[in-house]
Structure 1
């Protein structure tokens, strides 16, 4: 994925890149930043009717089952949704029938009465090894180092795909 994510504030266009999001977040969770950014790019395209309408950043509300700080920071940078109390982590949005790897990668974006629900595509974008190692309570230094490699690899997998090929829309958009 290349390019920018464009939103508007009071009619002024603001462009953000994945590099902006990673700088804002810091080095901790590049995979989470990539998840948030990819979900945002897809949602903004859908909510803005494929660029036909500008999306006002401070009018988008976000609910997600994804609890990661990288995803939160990507959303905050672009939408200011955390600051404006329009961001909620809601475990009820999870899809447990998709299994432990995919269940929490769900995002719901609401804008001017339109709702877009996205879920991660089931194509090996997040590995079981990443999930289990990330959840392990007493990792060794070697495991911590390997987890950092897995985070970077996941971010690369996500960002290598075009918009709409990481997350897919599920359900119907409400007008």
Structure 2
């Protein structure tokens, strides 16, 4: 469960809620958005949803849709995909999984932990042009496996704070 506030009223979201908004194509991206927001809000506190600014190096539509549903940040112009935020020193597999959330005077930057949540095979296959049907089927399996790994983690166990 993920809870934010609007004018002081709590609004709860589950991963299933976010998937209904996004659709079935990118469950891993939705899981990243859900997981990273849970962690960020555990640090920032009870955030007012329409006051949170989001910067990320993650360009995926699943993550974007998760943030939009919870924070309305895309619609309100508070969501920025910033390639400069990427942690390129971490390599192609992990570089773009960086998110920064700012609420009022508080800010937290989180990056994916380097412990197998995102695999090299997933990144390579996802970026491959002209995939075969068999490759698309494999990619679907990899997306679901990553989703399952992310959602199985406790708050704070998938992403870590960048100091």
TM-score of the two chains, using structure 1 as the length reference: 0.92
**What is the CA–CA distance in structure 2 between the aligned matches of 1:135 and 1:27, rounded to whole Å?**
19
- Equivalent position of 1:114 in the other structure: 106
Classify the secondary structure of the residue corresponding to 2:58.
coil
Unpaired segments ≥5 residues, structure 2: none
Q: CA deviation at 1:113?
A: 1.2
Q: CA deviation at 1:58?
A: 0.3
Classify the secondary structure of the residue corresponding to 1:104.
coil
Supply the RMSD in Å over aligned alpha carbons. Answer: 0.5
TM-score of the two chains, using structure 2 as the length reference: 0.99
**What is the CA–CA distance in structure 1 between the aligned matches of 2:109 and 2:52, rounded to whole Å?**
13
Partner residue of 2:22 out of 22, 25, 45: 25
**What is the CA–CA distance in structure 1 between the aligned matches of 2:123 and 2:3, rounded to whole Å?**
31
Q: CA deviation at 1:91?
A: 0.1
Matched, 1:158 2:150: yes
- Equivalent position of 2:10 in the other structure: 13
- Equivalent position of 1:85 in the other structure: 77
The count of corresponding residues between Structure 1 and Structure 2 is 163
Unpaired segments ≥5 residues, structure 1: 49-53
Q: CA deviation at 1:170?
A: 1.0
Q: CA deviation at 1:77?
A: 0.6
Counterparts of residues 8-87 of structure 1 (less than 5 Å): 8-48=5-45, 54-87=46-79
Classify the secondary structure of the residue corresponding to 1:15.
strand
**What is the CA–CA distance in structure 1 between the aligned matches of 2:106 and 2:123, rounded to whole Å?**
32
**What is the CA–CA distance in structure 2 between the aligned matches of 1:115 and 1:10, rounded to whole Å?**
21
Q: CA deviation at 1:143?
A: 0.5
- Equivalent position of 1:102 in the other structure: 94
Moved over 6 A (4+): none
